[in-house]
Amino acid sequence: MMDKRDKVGAAASSPMEMGSRDGDDSSSSSSMRTVETFLRLLPVALCVVALVVMLKNSQTNDFGSVSYSDLGAFKYLVHANGICAGYSLLSAIFAAMPRPSTMSRAWTFFFLDQVLTYMMLAAGAVSTEVLYLAYDGDVAVAWSAACGSFGGFCHKATASVAMTFVVVTCYAALSLLSSYRLFSKYDAPIDYPGKTIEIAAFQG
């Protein structure tokens, strides 16, 4: 009799427990979607500002003139920020939609987030190298420092590069989030306690 009552009680309580778990999962999914949407919208503003600052970055004085278009690294930075702004806006719209996450959608976000992370990291890295040479020069190759003569140009370029690295930080977090969302869909390996792995012993 006690066994039957226990079974009935367990059966009666199980729907409540399942409902509670479903509510927790829904709340966790909603908060994760909010965080993801914010992390995707923030780079839109940062990339646009970094792009505009670099596009308008030119200076003319008694020493000559210099523009961002004179340096390949800065042109790459402008193009990378433009691509990143467009992708960030589109992905934020898709991420904000409360639709079930499919495996193909998870793989797409994972792959594109990785591509954007490394693309922006490369843009920031090569631009930082150019800025380093512009500030300090390189005596070994007779490259003199240029920021002493074009200080305004260097300050604007530094601001653009700094915002680019903030975008890299956002996309590093998004890469972790999208990888977690993807690989959490896979089941853990099943452990068979009765089976052991046999290793053949080879004698020489």
Of 24-28, 85-89, 94-98, 149-153, where does the model show the most confidence?
85-89
pTM: 0.75
Token reading at 38: 């914010």
Contact partners, residue 127, CB within 8 Å, separation at least 6:
73, 74, 76, 77, 157, 160, 161, 164
The CA distances from residue 144 to 37, 58, 147, 181, in Å, are 45, 19, 9, 49
Q: What is the pLDDT of residues 25-77, one digit of tens each?
A: 556 677 878 888 899 999 999 999 999 999 999 888 878 888 999 999 999 99
Place of tokens 């806006």: 89
Radius of gyration, CA atoms only, the chain = 27
Instruction: Return the pLDDT at 141.
Output: 60
Q: Which residues pair with 59 in a beta bridge?
A: 66
